[in-house]
């Protein structure tokens, strides 16, 4: 039986692959795949962003080697940043309760 952490890692890989296989390089997200991923998997985040250029900016910032594709490390940087923001928000909420 995989541990909870091992299942989380498997999930990260599975989600990336689900979107990265749609076109071009099957292990990297093109811009279209990135938009599909964000609008499906992180819809709660994207629907608050009324300016569509926010996702363009995110893609450019994440694409460190500027090849128009997001590899697994770029993807982890995105998830890490969002997870950090969620964690900070969780800490702020729990501190208010004390």
In the complex, the residues that contact Ca ion under the rule CB under 5 A are 20, 24-25
Query: C-alpha dihedral over 36, 37, 43, 48, to 10 degrees?
Result: -80
Residue 68 or residue 77: which is nearer to Ca ion going by CB? 68
Residue with tokens 């501190």: 95
Cβ at position 33, least distance to Ca ion in Å? 5
Cβ at position 11, least distance to Ca ion in Å? 19
Residue 25 or residue 39: which is nearer to Ca ion going by CB? 25
* Residue 74 to residues 48, 63, 93, Cα–Cα distance (Å): 23, 6, 29
Cβ at position 59, least distance to Ca ion in Å? 13
Which residues are paired to 84 by β-bridges? none
């Amino acid at each position: 039986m995989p541990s909870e952490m091992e299942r989380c890692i498997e999930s990260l890989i599975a989600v990336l692959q689900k979107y990265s296989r749609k076109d071009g390089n099957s292990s990297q997200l093109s811009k279209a795949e990135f938009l599909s991923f964000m609008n499906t998997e992180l819809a709660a985040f994207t629907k608050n962003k009324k300016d569509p250029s926010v996702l363009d900016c995110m893609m450019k910032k994440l694409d460190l080697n500027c090849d128009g594709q997001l590899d697994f490390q770029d993807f982890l940087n995105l998830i890490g940043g969002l997870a950090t923001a969620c964690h900070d928000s969780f800490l702020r909420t729990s501190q208010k309760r004390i």
